[in-house]
Structure 1
Amino acid sequence: MQLGALVPFTDTGGDPSLVRDFALAVEAMGYDFLEAPDHVVGGNPATNAGTDPRRGIADDMFHDPFVLLGYLAAATTKLTFFTGVLIVAQRQTVLVAKQAACLDVLSGGRFRLGVGVGWNPVEFTALNENFHNRGRRSEEQAQVMQALWSQPYVTFKGRYHTIDDAGINPRPTSGRVPLWFGGHHEHTLPRIAKWGDGWMPNAYPPDQAALDIFAELRRLTEAAGRDPASIGIEVWTSCGQGAEADWRREIEFWKRAGASHICLTTTFGRRHHHRIAGRTIADHLAALKRYRAAVADIL
């Protein structure tokens, strides 16, 4: 299994030297990847609190993932990078395919594209996209991006996209950017089975429900004519509660369950996850160092 970490923007901010030093420290500790969240705009907390308080995220800082990860790829040598997740349905598909291909080339193939459909209508309104058909569009977006990555010229006529014998340059060296899906909607697993390289669930604790849903993903993948072993699974974990023995038991469970990637988040505090108490960059790095030391031999 690979072990990665989520950039703790909401605590540490986005100062360029701080973000770079964080990535270098994570790389030096032996982490395999660094994951960046995505929000283009956020609602005003004062006016959105009466609807869904999550809409009011304008006070939280998020660097654009492509710009951030391009910057960090130039500063590092071994870390791979991942969007966790890019809200692809609120963006132009061909532009995302181009940005992902460029990042793949400039990083030397150290990039995975994690995508999701989003949950905040405020962002879709601001970006002039339709919030209500985002799931259906994301299915077609996957097909369009994969065609543009693999073929020099593409002709495509779908429900939402038209390409008339055109292509992007550069294209990824391998002809493909690994495409992973986040989310837990009932349609997510069939989309992964048809077009995805992996799934990023964070809703399941280490129990039978996780084993059952992983088995369902493998069944759907096989039914789609693909090898279930080719589909990665990244689960999120946290270290704000429990101690080394607890963390080891959880990692051992995920390894037996077939997870390929573990992402440690020190700020996420929803569902069964618990954020750390500290807020400084030193607090986050200390937590990352302690966690990896506890589980490294199991990976």
Structure 2
Amino acid sequence: MRIGFAVPSSGSWATPDNMKRVARRAEELGYSGVWTFQRLLYPVGHPMGPVYRSVQDPVVTLSYLAGVTERIRLGVAVLNLPFFSPALLAKQLATLQIVSGGRLDAGLGLGWIPEEFTATGVAMERRGKRAEEYVELLRRLWTEDVVEHKGEFYEVPPVHQDPRPETPPPILLGGAATVALRRAGRISDGWISSSRADLSKIDEQIYIVKEAAREAGRDPSGLRFVVRGVTRPGTAAGGPLSGPYEKIQEDVEALAAKGVTEVFHDFNFNPEIGDPAADPRDSMRRAEEALERLAPAS
């Protein structure tokens, strides 16, 4: 089981200094990776909650952290594919993979807010089919000298896109519907759960991903299964990854027994921390305490 930690990405505590402090300390403590997420826009009056109201761009954030860390992996969970052209995202992620020394984990998703699709000029319909063509094109742009493509959604004339990364970043797909889980098994290097995932049933979702991989002639043992852990130390609610630190560590072990290969603790989705109105000093105090208490060595 790998243990990661999300850097400040949402709300008042998501400052460059705090990002750097968390990433560097996580690296010192032996965490496997630091993680970010994407929220492009917040529609006026939307009920999704304050943690989505003010979110830093994940590609820029990880590029910054690549320059202030040396070993720890850099992950995004997730970038929504339809908001980028494949050529643009391939270039950005290839460059990030190069400047970070091959440390990028590229989590990709489909998007779900209509207003974001409207603002980016892309239709929401047939997002799944679009994603399959997109992932294939990303991999070709990262590995082939000359790429030419004419598909249902995208067209690329004969081109070079250099420099290509020595090792392409792993592609991890999000999504909770059965069709999305099966897509992850067929075409990705692993699957990432959402912040709203029912962790008591995570093994059922992992089973679907693995079965789809087997049916596609792939070895499911090589896939990664990453859980975004909405972690709330001290909370009395009693759900997974909440309560005393000892219980949270036991919950992580239980997730490993269900087939999860990596958990990253994410404080951004705690409304007391990810809210733009939260006290950033208190947020950092709580996060830094958790960094120490939940470190892999402990």
**Could you say which TM-score interval applies, normalised by the shorter chain?**
0.7 to 0.9
Question: 2:81 aligned with 1:80, yes or no?
Answer: no
Question: 2:96 aligned with 1:103, yes or no?
Answer: yes
CA distance in 2, matches of 1:221, 1:115: 18
CA distance in 2, matches of 1:249, 1:296: 14
Q: After the TM superposition, which residues 215-226 of structure 1 pair with which residues of structure 2 at under 5 Å, given as runs?
A: 215-226=207-218
Task: State the aligned residue count.
Answer: 283
Name the counterpart of 2:205: 213
Shift of 1:63: 2.2
Shift of 1:17: 2.5
Shift of 1:10: 2.6
SS at match of 1:131: coil
**Alpha-carbon contact 2:232-2:270 (below 8 Å) kept:** no
Deviations 1:144-192 (A, max 9, x none): 1011111111121210111222131111112x22000112022212211
Distance 1:249 1:212, change over 3 A: same
Deviations 1:79-115 (A, max 9, x none): 1111111111121111101111110011000001101
- What TM-score comes out, normalization by structure 2 length? 0.86
Question: 2:27 aligned with 1:35, yes or no?
Answer: no
Question: 2:93 aligned with 1:90, yes or no?
Answer: no
Deviations 1:188-234 (A, max 9, x none): 12211221001011444443x32222122111101101100111000
Q: After the TM superposition, which residues 1-299 of structure 1 pair with which residues of structure 2 at under 5 Å, given as runs?
A: 1-44=1-44, 49=45, 52-54=46-48, 60-174=53-167, 176-202=168-194, 203-207=196-200, 209-237=201-229, 238-240=231-233, 241-269=242-270, 279-292=282-295, 296=297
- Range moving further from structure 2, 125-134 or 179-188: 125-134
Distance 1:63 1:153, change over 3 A: same
The residue type paired with residue 53 of structure 1 is P
- What stretches of structure 1 of length at least 5 have no aligned partner? none
**Identity between Structure 1 and Structure 2 (%):** 27
CA distance in 2, matches of 1:242, 1:55: 23
Deviations 1:269-298 (A, max 9, x none): 59xxx99x9842122111222222xx646x
Shift of 1:135: 2.5
**Alpha-carbon contact 1:12-1:281 (below 8 Å) kept:** no
SS at match of 2:232: coil
Q: Which 4+ residue blocks in structure 1 deviate beyond 6 angstroms? A: 55-58
**Alpha-carbon contact 1:183-1:200 (below 8 Å) kept:** yes
**Alpha-carbon contact 1:38-1:87 (below 8 Å) kept:** yes
**Alpha-carbon contact 2:143-2:164 (below 8 Å) kept:** yes
Distance 1:56 1:266, change over 3 A: closer
SS at match of 1:214: helix
The residue type paired with residue 231 of structure 1 is L
- Range moving further from structure 2, 64-73 or 101-110: 64-73
Shift of 1:57: 7.5
- What TM-score comes out, normalization by structure 1 length? 0.86
SS at match of 1:31: coil
- Range moving further from structure 2, 109-118 or 251-260: 251-260
CA distance in 2, matches of 1:283, 1:57: 17
- What stretches of structure 2 of length at least 5 have no aligned partner? 234-241
CA distance in 1, matches of 2:11, 2:83: 26
**Alpha-carbon contact 2:146-2:160 (below 8 Å) kept:** yes
**Alpha-carbon contact 1:13-1:61 (below 8 Å) kept:** no
The residue type paired with residue 92 of structure 2 is Q
**Alpha-carbon contact 2:4-2:31 (below 8 Å) kept:** yes
Shift of 1:236: 2.3
CA distance in 2, matches of 1:234, 1:57: 21
CA distance in 2, matches of 1:248, 1:65: 27
